[in-house]
């Protein structure tokens, strides 16, 4: 083997290795995007599940005066009627009373409608204290929008709530949608 053949072999192998390294570099650089998307989906799923597990009732579970005592599931009703309902009788959705919050130990959100307009702007927080962001999730933002959607299912408009959870980080955003049906209109839970 001559020196010229050896040099040509080294050049060809160098070009091939460079090409492989460029492709590898690009794939490694792009592999962070799925991580951001997966974390955003996990956050959205968690928040959507939290909201949908709440009751959709006419009455506020924290206000015993709004219930018949004891409240039979089939006949419970609010003394104030639809205007005093948790979903505000067709009015603006949101915490009722307005003093409720997601992290409160005494007046927590206790109805699907309470989450309307809820946002986490400075990171994702644990339900433990609501003040310390979960490490590594400080750049994520989450918001919840709730609208009445009964007409979509040929039901009374306030019988179904549509829940949209939007999670963003940088230019990546994920929206998950779920529906919560009031399966027993006069039930307390």
pLDDT digits (tens, 9 = 90+) for 13-57: 999 999 999 999 888 776 666 888 888 999 999 999 999 998 887
Report yes or no: 56 and 112 within 8 Å, Cβ to Cβ. Answer: yes
Q: Phi and psi of 82, rounded to 5°? A: -60, -30
**179 SS3 class:** strand
* pLDDT reported for residue 162: 95
Q: Region 93-117: what's the mean pLDDT?
A: 81
Does residue 82 or residue 134 have the better pLDDT?
Answer: 134
Report yes or no: 151 and 84 within 8 Å, Cβ to Cβ. Answer: no
How many Å from the N-terminal Cα to the C-terminal Cα in the chain? 86
Q: Residue 72: name the closest of 160, 187, 161 by CA.
A: 187
Give residues with Cβ within 8 angstroms of 9, minimum separation 6: none
101 forms beta bridges with 108
Confidence of residue 185 (pLDDT cuts 50, 70, 90): low
pLDDT digits (tens, 9 = 90+) for 69-78: 444 444 445 5
Give the C-alpha separation, 127 to 132, whole Å.
10
* pLDDT reported for residue 27: 82
């Amino acid at each position: 083997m001559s020196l010229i053949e050896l040099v040509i072999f080294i050049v060809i192998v160098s070009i091939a290795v460079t090409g492989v390294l460029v492709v590898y570099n690009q794939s490694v650089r792009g592999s962070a995007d799925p991580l951001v998307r997966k974390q955003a989906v996990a956050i959205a799923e968690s928040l959507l599940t939290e909201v949908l597990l709440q009751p959709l009732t006419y009455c506020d579970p924290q206000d015993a005066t709004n219930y018949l005592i004891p409240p039979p599931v089939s006949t419970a009703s609010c003394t104030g009627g639809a205007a005093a309902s948790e979903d505000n009788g067709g009015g603006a959705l949101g915490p009722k009373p307005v003093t409720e919050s997601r992290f409160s130990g005494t007046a927590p959100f206790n109805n699907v409608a309470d989450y309307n307009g809820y946002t986490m702007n400075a990171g994702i927080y644990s339900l433990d204290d609501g003040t310390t962001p979960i490490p590594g999730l400080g750049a994520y933002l989450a918001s919840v929008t709730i609208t009445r959607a009964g007409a979509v299912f040929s039901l009374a408009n306030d019988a179904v709530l549509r829940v949209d959870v939007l999670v963003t980080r940088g230019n990546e955003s994920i929206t998950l949608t779920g529906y919560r049906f009031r399966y027993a209109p006069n039930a307390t839970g």
